């Protein structure tokens, strides 16, 4: 479902809070997890910022991984204080650039169809909760031909707060008719992992290779090197 609706506060399903919860819902991040887009995001940001005479290294752009585009722009505007363009214009240029780059160069992450089929075959409710703008999400899902897998597609663009706030995950759970305690989230970033844990979900992280030793990932329930590494044994660990 694409349209964003006003939502009531998240709720718990089940007759009693003491009841045990079965994991029956999976919610995926998108960038860096389903599509290898993080390097393209970094490149788009650096290219647009170059037009402002603001130089960002890959290390600097990695600081804002997982944030909404407008928050990335505001973060660096507060630091560099440029006047050449409005933050709205810079945000729009980044969105246009990254969309073009993903459509031209984006590759599915290893195990993309495996993990989607894994949960589909087991009858899980499936959703997507991304920091990307809905226009980017729509383009990517059509490009990868995976839109039919998801019963809920939520962009943090429409939430009052982006990740690491749990709002986008709570909205996805509610649209799927699931308690957060019935959900497992798949993430690739510390920011996204924090958001899902704050929503009280189980979390599986598949970090980029250069970030796998980040000790903050200890907060996740499971850490994997690839989506292909998830199986029924790992699912059982989540309870």
Which positions are catalytic? Answer: 29, 31
Instruction: Print burial letters for 170-182: b (CB count within 10 Å at least 16), e (below 16).
Output: bbbbbbbebbbbb
Give SS3 for 157. helix
Identify whether the C-beta of residue 166 lies closer than 8 Å to the C-beta of residue 199.
yes
Distance separating alpha carbons of residues 28 and 172, to the nearest angstrom: 10
Token pair, residue 72, equals 């990335």
Identify whether the C-beta of residue 204 lies closer than 8 Å to the C-beta of residue 230.
yes
Distance separating alpha carbons of residues 214 and 181, to the nearest angstrom: 26
Tell me, what DSSP letter sits at residue 35? B
Identify whether the C-beta of residue 206 lies closer than 8 Å to the C-beta of residue 226.
yes
Roughly what angle, to the nearest 10 degrees, separates helices 134-144 and 87-105?
A: 0
Pick from 37, 141, 53: nearest CA to 90: 53
Pick from 154, 168, 133, 159: nearest CA to 41: 133
């Amino acid at each position: 479902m694409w349209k964003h609706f006003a939502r009531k506060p998240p709720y718990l399903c089940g007759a009693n809070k003491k009841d045990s919860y079965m994991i029956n819902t999976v919610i995926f991040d998108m960038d860096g997890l389903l599509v290898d887009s993080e390097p393209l995001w970094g490149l788009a940001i650096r290219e647009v910022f170059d037009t402002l005479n603001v130089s960002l290294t890959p290390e600097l752009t990695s600081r804002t991984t997982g944030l909404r585009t407008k928050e990335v722009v505001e973060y660096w505007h507060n630091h560099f204080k440029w006047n050449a363009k409005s933050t709205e214009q810079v945000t729009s240029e980044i969105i246009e650039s990254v969309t073009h780059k993903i459509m031209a160069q984006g590759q599915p992450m290893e195990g993309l169809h495996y993990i989607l089929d894994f949960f589909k075959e087991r009858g899980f409710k499936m959703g997507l909760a991304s920091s990307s703008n809905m226009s980017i999400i729509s383009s990517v899902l059509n490009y990868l031909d995976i839109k039919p897998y998801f019963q809920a597609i939520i962009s943090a663009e429409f939430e009052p707060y982006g990740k690491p706030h749990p709002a986008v995950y709570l909205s996805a759970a509610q649209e799927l008719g699931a308690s957060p305690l019935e959900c497992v989230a798949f993430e690739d970033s510390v920011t996204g992992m924090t958001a899902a844990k704050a929503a009280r979900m189980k979390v599986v992280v598949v970090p980029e290779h250069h970030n796998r030793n980040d000790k903050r990932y200890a907060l996740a329930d499971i850490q994997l090197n690839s989506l292909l590494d998830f199986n029924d044994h790992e699912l059982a660990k989540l309870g």
